[in-house]
Structure 1
Amino acid sequence: MGRNNQRNCCTSQVACCCGNASCSSPCLPPIKESTSTRLMYILYYLLGAILSAVMVTETIRESLHRAPWLVDFCENVGAGTNCSSLMGYVAVYRINYALAAFFLVMAVLTICVGSSNSIRGQIHNGFWFFKLLFLILLWVGAFFIPTPSQAVTAGLVVGFTGACLFILMQLWLLIDFASSWNHSWSRKYDGGSKCWYIGLIFFILIFYAISILITVFTIELYGKPFFACLRNTLYVCFSATACAILSVLTILPCISRNHPRASLLQASIVSAYVMYLTFSAIVIEPPMETLTEVGYNETTKTRIYNTTLVLCAPTSITSAILVDSSYGELLSAAVATILLLGMVLYACIRSTTTTFVPDEEGTANKNFWCCCHKDTNGDEVDGPHRSWGAIENEAEGTVYSYSFFHFTFLLASLYTMMTFTNWYSPENATLENLHRTWPPFWVRLVSAWVCALLYALKVIVIMCRSDPDPDEEPNRRSRRRRARHRSTPL
C-alpha cells in the first residue's frame, strides 16, 4: 500500500506539471485547489522580481568583467560587451513587460470562467510546466526585440500608468484590511467579550503612537535648517492634519448612527500608513536649490546669483548612520518591498476565505505519507480531488475571479519594474545605490495624500447614506437590551 501511495504521489506531481491537475506539496497537508494555484502564480511573480533585482545589481555587473569566458560568450551571442544588453534598466523593462504579457494572456484567457472543470479553468489551475516554459520563451524573446529610444519612452509611460493603478489598488486594500479588522473585532465585542474591546483600544493607541512618532521624527531630522527645509515641515504638517481630520470624521455622530461599528481603529491604521508614506518620500528627497545674490553685472544689467544645494538630512553622526544616505533609503526600500508583497499575499488570502465547503476537521493531517511514507489511504480525505492531496473546491463555482487575479499581477509587474528602475530616472538605477530623485519622491508623497482621500471618501459615503446598515440592526438592538438591563433597578 505504501509503495502504491508513493507512486500515486509521484504521478500526481507529474500531472501537476504536464497535465490539468493542481499542485500540492508532497510533505504538507492537502490544500485547496484555489489556494495552491494562487501560490504558484505568486512564485512566478517572485521569480520575475528576483531576475529584475539581479539585472540592476552593480555587483553582478562587475563580476562579469572578471570572467573572461563569460565575456567571450556574451560577444558570441551578440549580447554586447560584458553582456551589457542583458543588464541595466532596459533588461528590467524586458523582463517585467514579458511577465506582464504573460499575465495579460492569462487574464484574457480566463475571462468569465465559472468552474475549474472547464477547459480554461483547467489551463488556469494546471499545466504548470508549459506555462513556465511559455514565460521563459517570453523572457528570451523580449531580449531579441529592438529597443529604440521611442520604445523605451513609451514603455516608461505605460509602466508608470500601470504602477499608479497598482498603488491605488494597494491603498484600497489597506483601507479594506483596516475595515475588516475593525468589523471582526467589533462584532466579537458585541458578543459580550471585553477582551476584544481592550484589544481595539490597545491597537488604536499603538497606531496613533506610531503616527505621532513618525511626525516628530521626520520634522526633527528632516526639517533643519528651518527656513531652507520649511517645505518638508509643511509636507509633514499637511499629512498630519489630514490624519487628524480623518479621525474627527470617523467619530462624528452621523457616522455612529449609520455605521455603529465604526471606530478609530480604521483611522489609526490609515494615519500610520499615511505618515509612513510621507516619511519614506522625504527620505529620498533630492537636494533643494537655493539662490543667493552675490553681485550685480553693470554690463548686462542683471543680478548675479550663486546656486547652493541644500540637503535636508540629519546632521548628527548617529542619526546619519540610522536614517541618512543609503542606509535610510535601503531601509525604506526594504519596508516598501515587504508591504508590497504583504498586500499581494493579503489579497490572495482574503479571497481564499470567501466561500467554499471545507473538509471535515482532522482530515488534513492524514496525508503525510507522501513525504514520510506513511501507509495511509488517500481516499480518506473528504471532498473531491483534482490531484492527490489537492482539494478541488471550485467544481461548482470559482472562489475568486481568475481574470482579475491575473490583472492584479499584471499591474504588480509594472509596479516592480518602475520601482527597480527608479521611476523616471532609470539611467542611474542600481540596486546598491538608490539615488535621490524627484519622481519617486512625488509618487510616495501623492500616494500618502491619495490614501487619506480614499478613506475620507469612504467616510463621506457613510455620512450621506440615509438608511443604516441592515446588518448592524440586530447588534444595535442587542446593545440596547444590555444597556436597559444594566440600568434596571433591583
Structure 2
Amino acid sequence: MSDPRVRSFQITPDDLEAAQLDELIREIEHKSLFYYKEKNKSLRARYVYGTIFLIINLCAWFIRDYAQKALALLPYVSSCGPEGSHCFHTLGVLRVSLGCFIFFLVMFLSTWNTMKLHQAQNYWHSDYWTFKFFLLVSAMVASFFIPQLYIQIYGEIARVGAGIFLGLQLVSVIEFITWWNNYWMPNNQSKQSCSFGLVMSTVFYIGSVCGIAVMYYFYAASTACTLNIFFISLTVLLLVIMMVMSLHSKVNRGLLSSGIMASYIVFLCWSAIRSEPSNTKCNAHTQNGHADWITILSFLIAIGAIVMATFSTGIDSESFRFRKDEAKDEDDIPYSYGFFHLVFSLGAMYFAMLFVSWNLEHSAQKWSIDVGWTSTWVKIVNEWFAAAIYLWKLIAPIVRQPRVHEQPQPTTTQVSRQIDEVNFP
C-alpha cells in the first residue's frame, strides 16, 4: 500500500504539460523582447547613418570652398599636385564623395542578403560603430592618395550613379503620393474623407497655379526669355494632361494625387529655372560674390534636402518590391539594409554632382549648389521623367487589363449533339 504523502508529491501529466507550456510562453516572450530591442536598435541606426551622411556633405562643402586656405600649411601628398590643387574644389568634392561611396558600398555588400534579426549582418548593421568609424575615416583618407586620373574617371561614373539615384527618388516620391492619396481618399469613401480630399486637392492646385504665375512674372517677363517660357508652358501642359487623365472615366483617380503631383512638377520646374547661371538676363535670382544670410540659409536648406531625399528613399524599399503582399514575420528586419546602403552610396555620387553643378571642368562659386546650364537641363529632364512615370501609373492598369473575347453561343444542333455524345458514348 502506497504512502499518501508520496502520492501528494508525484507530478501528474497535467502538471508536466502546464510546466512545459509556461516555459514555452516565457521563451516566446523572451524572443519577442529580443526582436523588439533589435528592431529599435536597427531603426535608431538609420538615423546615425543619416547623420554621418550629413557630416560628409558638410566636409565636401568645406573642402570645396575653404580647405585650400585653411589647410595651406599642411604637407600635401604627390597625388594632390602642386599646392594641393588636385585635392580641393571640384576634385576635392569628388574625393570626399568617393570615400563616402566606398564606405556605403562596403556596407551594402556586407548586408544586402540580410533577412532576419538574428543574423550576424543585423548586428553589423546596427552595432560596431567604432570599427565602422575607423572604416569610414580610412576610406576618406585613402581617397586623397588616389591619382587625379582615377578621380576624374570616378566623376564620370558618378554622373551615371547620380542619374540612377534621381530615378529611384522619383519612384519613391510617386509611390508616396499614391499612398497619400489612398490614405486621404480610401475606397470606402465617407463624406468627411471626400470633403477633406477635395479641400486638399484645391489647395494643391491653387498652389500650383500661383507657382506658375510667379515663374511667368519673374523668369519670363519678356519675349526674349523663350527658353523659360517654353519650360513653364510645357509644365502647364503637363498639369492639364495629368488632371484630364486622372478624371478620365477609365482611370477615375480623382484630383488629389494629380494635385500633389502638380505641385511637385511645378517645384521641379522652378528649381530648374533657378539653377540657370546668374549672368542670364531672365534669371531674377542674382548671385553676387559675397554670401548674405539668404544665400547661406538657402545653401544649408539645400544640403538638408539632399540628406532627407537620400534618407527617405533609402528606407522606402517597399516601393521597389515586385510583390508587396508578402506577410512579415516577427523576426524580419524592419527595412532592407542592402537597399538602404545602396541608396546612400548612390547619394554620395548625387551630392558630388550637386556640389560641382554636374560640371567636372570648372569649380562652382562659394555658397552655391547645383547652379549652371547642366544642372538646369538635368532638373528639367527629371521633371519630364516624373510626369511620364506618373502618367504611366495612371494608364498601366488599363493597358495591362486582359482582353475578354466574347465566345460565340453554341447552336441548338451543337447542344443536341453534345448531349447525344454524353448519353451514347
Select the residue among 290, 294, 306 that pairs with 1:340.
306
Is 2:367 the counterpart of 1:432?
Answer: yes
Match of 1:263 in 2: 254
More displaced 10-residue stretch of structure 1: 125-134 or 202-211: 202-211
Aligned: 1:32 with 2:30: no
TM-score by length of 2: 0.75
Asked if 1:399 is matched to 2:399, the reply is: no
- Asked if structure 2 preserves the Cα contact closer than 8 Å seen for 1:163 and 1:414, the reply is yes
Match of 1:251 in 2: 247
**Deviation of 1:167 (Å):** 0.7
Residue 44 of structure 1 and its aligned partner are, at CA, apart by 2.0
Amino acid in structure 2 at the alignment position of 1:268: G
1:157 maps to what in 2? 156
Give the aligned CA root-mean-square deviation in angstroms.
3.5
> 8 Å contact 2:359–2:374 — kept in the other structure?
yes
Cα distance in 1 for partners of 2:383, 2:280 equals 24
C-alpha change, 1:347 and 1:242, in structure 2 (3 Å) is same
Give 1:90-129 correspondences, 5 Å limit. Answer: 90-129=91-130
Contact 1:116/1:394, CA 8 A, preserved across alignment: no
Give, in angstroms, the shift of residue 195 of structure 1.
Answer: 3.5
RCO comparison, higher one (Cα < 8 Å, 6+): 1
* Alignment pair present for 1:190 and 2:188: yes
Distance in 1, matches of 2:118 and 2:370, equals 50
Of 77-86 and 100-109, deviating more is 77-86
Name the CA distance, whole Å, in 2 between partners of 1:164 and 1:122: 32
Q: Could you tell me which residue of structure 2 aligns to residue 43 of structure 1? A: 51
Q: CA 1:200–1:432 in structure 2 vs 1: closer, same or farther (change >3 Å)?
A: same
Range 154-163 or range 79-88, more displaced: 79-88
User: How far is 1:108 from its partner?
Assistant: 1.4
Give the Cα–Cα distance (whole angstroms) in 1 for the partners of residues 247 and 151 of structure 2.
49
In structure 2, the partner of 1:460 is 395
Paired residue secondary structure (2:401): coil
Q: Secondary structure at the match of 1:255?
A: coil
CA distance in 2, matches of 1:277, 1:413: 21
Paired residues for 1:7-26 under 5 Å: none
Return the alpha-carbon distance in structure 2 between the equivalents of residues 32 and 436 of structure 1: 40
5+ long unaligned stretches in structure 2: 1-33, 319-323, 403-425
Counterparts of residues 199-218 of structure 1 (less than 5 Å): 199-218=196-215
Deviation string, structure 1 residues 97-117 (Cα, Å, up to 9, x no partner): 111111111111123222232
Structure 1 residue ranges without an equivalent (≥5): 1-20, 25-29, 65-69, 257-261, 288-308, 315-322, 358-392, 468-490
Specify the code of the residue in structure 2 equivalent to 1:458. Answer: K
Which residue identity is paired with 2:100? L
Give CA deviations for 1:127-159 in whole Å, capped at 9, x if unaligned: 1110111010111111111213xx343222111
In structure 1, how many angstroms separate the alpha carbons of the residues matched to 2:245 and 2:189? Answer: 26
2:172 and 2:316 in contact (8 A); partners too: no
The whole-number CA distance in structure 1 between the counterparts of 2:372 and 2:72 is: 33
CA deviation profile, 1:156-196 (whole Å, cap 9, x unmatched) = 21111011111111111111111111111122x8363x443
1:298-309 superposed matches below 5 A: none
Question: What does 1:465-480 align with in structure 2 at a 5 Å threshold?
Answer: 465-466=400-401
- Alpha-carbon spacing, 1:72–1:324, altered in 2? closer, same or farther (3 Å): closer
Partner of 2:64: 56
In structure 2, how many angstroms separate the alpha carbons of the residues matched to 1:339 and 1:159?
19
Asked if structure 1 preserves the Cα contact closer than 8 Å seen for 2:314 and 2:344, the reply is no
Q: Which amino acid aligns with 1:209?
A: I
Q: Name the CA shift for 1:336/1:127 in 2 (closer, same or farther; >3 Å).
A: same
Q: Are 1:351 and 1:399, in contact at CA under 8 Å, matched by a contact in 2?
A: no
CA shift in 2, pair 1:73/1:324, >3 Å: closer
Q: 1:46: how far off?
A: 1.5
CA contact (8 A) 2:86 2:148 kept: no
Helix, strand or coil for the counterpart of 2:75?
helix
SS at match of 2:148: coil
Report the AA paired with residue 54 of structure 1. Answer: F
Post-superposition CA distance 1:342-370 (Å, at most 9, x none): 33343466569x9999xxxxxxxxxxxxx
For residue 56 of structure 1, give the secondary structure of its aligned residue in structure 2.
Answer: helix
CA spacing shift, 1:443–1:78, aligned 2, 3 Å: closer
> Residues of 2 paired with 1:333 and 1:457: CA distance?
34
2:308 is the counterpart of 1:312: no
Q: Distance in 1 between matches of 2:254 and 2:100?
A: 41
- The alpha-carbon deviation at position 244 of structure 1 amounts to 1.0
Output the CA distance in 2 between the equivalents of 1:179 and 1:435. 29
- 1:244 and 1:334 mapped to 2: Cα distance? 34
CA pair 310-145 structure 1, distance change in 2 beyond 3 A: closer
Q: Partner of 1:240 in structure 2? A: 236
- Structure 2 partner of 1:274: 265
1:361 is aligned to: none
Q: Which amino acid aligns with 1:466?
A: Q
Structure having the larger proportion of residues in strand:
1
Partners of 1:269 and 1:159 in 2: how far apart? Answer: 31
Shift of 1:199: 2.4
Q: Tell me by how many angstroms 1:336 deviates.
A: 4.6
Question: C-alpha offsets along residues 441-488 of structure 1, whole Å, 9 cap, x if unaligned?
Answer: 111111111110110111110222437xxxxxxxxxxxxxxxxxxxxx
Residues in 2 aligned to 1:78 and 1:111: alpha-carbon distance in whole angstroms: 33
Q: Distance in 1 between matches of 2:226 and 2:72?
A: 51
Shift in alpha-carbon separation, 1:176–1:412, aligned structure 2, 3 A: same
Q: How many residues align?
A: 362
- For 1:341, the aligned partner's letter is V
The CA deviation at 1:283 is: 1.8
Q: Secondary structure at the match of 1:190?
A: coil
Q: Percent identity?
A: 23
Q: Which residue of 1 aligns with 2:222?
A: 225
Deviation at 1:428, TM superposition (A): 2.1
Q: Which residue of 2 aligns with 1:471?
A: none
User: Contact 1:284–1:329 (CA<8 Å) still a contact in 2?
Assistant: no
Contact conserved, 1:200 with 1:265, CA < 8 A, in 2? yes
**Secondary structure of the structure 1 residue equivalent to 2:332:** coil
CA contact (8 A) 1:116 1:125 kept: no
- Residues 68-83 of structure 1: pairs in structure 2 closer than 5 A: 71-74=72-75
CA deviation vs aligned residue, 1:47-79 (integer Å, no higher than 9, x gap): 211211111224x544x3xxxxx6443369996
Q: Secondary structure, in 3 states, of the residue corresponding to 2:157?
A: helix
Which residue identity does 1:242 align to in structure 2? L
